[in-house]
Chain A
Amino acid sequence: MSHFFDVFIESYPYFLQGLKITLYLSAASLLIAFVIGLFFAILKISNIKVLGWIADAYIWVIRGTPLIVQIFVLYYGITEIILIDKFWAGAIGLAIHSGAYIAEIIRGSIQSIDKGQMEAGRSLGMTKLQTMRRIILPQAFRRAIPSLGNQFIIGIKDSSLVSFIGAQELFGVSSSLGSNSFDFLTFYSVAAVYYLFIVLILTAIVNRIEKKLARSD
């Protein structure tokens, strides 16, 4: 056990570098994923059938294939056309992946809002878009927060897969350090502690937001 702590302390400059990349990767990908998710959620609930089909196809492809395959296809696909660095290839890959799940979460929470809310907005002369933006979406997001938080946690852990296209985030750092010393178990355990720490903080933030938003209920 004392060996673990020694390694933990000695290796922290490398891991902090990895942590930074994990956090940037997660933040960038989840931000993009949220926009993608919102976009496809709205396509799915629109009255225009073709748009719904497009959203269905996207969600079907993403949910039906492994994330690692998506990352590789995207990375080797994109680099055929333009030179893009590993970070952004990974971030976009993760975003497209999480976006499909977030789309389903947002769609579900929009549809769970009582239809009387839309009617009330429309009866006051508000447009469909105004009612959506001012009345439906704020309530839907509030309802989606626990599931979104969960999806964000999954997204952070999934970012470890970007190490397979060479990103030196937490998992990449521990793999490198492990293969230098053949002490894989210790370095992967150190990585696990960092992930646990990130998830702990994120969970606390989500809980706080939930509590704050619950004031009107």
Chain B
Amino acid sequence: MSKKEMVRVEQLNKSFGKLHVLKDVDLTVDESNVVVLIGASGSGKSTLLRCINFLEMKDDGKIFLEGEQVDKDTHNLNEIRQRVGMVFQHFNLFPHKTVLENVIEAPLMVKKMPKNQAIEEGKALLDKVGLGDKYDVYPSTLSGGQKQRVAIARSLAMKPEVMLFDEPTSALDPELVGEVLATMKELADEGMTMVVVTHEMGFAREVGDWVVYMHDGRIVEYGNPDELFERPKEQRTKEFLSSIL
């Protein structure tokens, strides 16, 4: 069964000064799939994610969204970013706004949604991520896990077609990781297309449809979780997996 292609990158290259961070990266993400990017820090995972929603500008290569090539010269990047949600390692919630205000900000400002509709939808999203009792508190009063769930709700409020997660649990205390992963799993089960950079191999194995191992700016190996974790083909993948498992 052929699925609809949501994101494709072709021959992506990116350098920071002399540092060549992404080298000829090709990646395709089909609708409703969860692709998990793994690899050591500095391997280019986060940069790849940030190039997909143009928070970093690629040097070279092509990016396709739902089959259409998008680029900064031909498209309004603000419109592209509305279709690609992003969740950050450090949450990046707006500290001067309440939880609900965080969630409704972009629908109000960007989509010009009527306020009562934005509030209704925002509350529904916060209920969904288990924060129905936290509408009016400020982010500083929340735990890390709660903050990240607000960040997920904030991103979902724009009804993105794809969600990017950049190490969403790396800044969390170990006991708070589970609640965020559970929220992400729920999202995946509902059919959200997701690209996730994480060090949580349990999540990669359980929720991921595909796992991509990156090393030194290249995709070394690509496979379904069972294959990649049980029978890695490449020597580098084997070494990486044995170093972390």
Contacts and interface: CB of A to CB of B under 8 A. Distances in A.
Contact of A124 (B90, B97, B98, B155): B155
Given A130-B110, A217-B95, A123 B105 contact: no
B106 interface: yes
B244 interface: no
Interface in B87-140: 88, 90, 92-98, 105-106, 109-110, 138-140
A66 interface: no
B109 A126 contact: yes
B81 to A, nearest CB: 5
Nearest to A119: B55
Q: How large is the interface on B (under 10, 10 to 19, 20 to 34, 35 or more residues)?
A: 20 to 34
Contacts of B109: 126, 130, 134
Interface residues of A, number: 21
Interface string B47-91: 000000101000000000000000000000011011011101010
Contacts of A127: 78
Contacts of B96: 138-139, 142, 216
Given A119-B55, A216-B138, A126 B92 contact: no
B162 to A, nearest CB: 12
A142 B155 CA distance: 26
Given A123-B86, A124-B155, A130-B109, A216 B55 contact: no
B158 interface: yes
Contacts of A139: 94-96
Interface of A: 114, 116-117, 119-127, 130, 134-135, 138-139, 142, 215-217
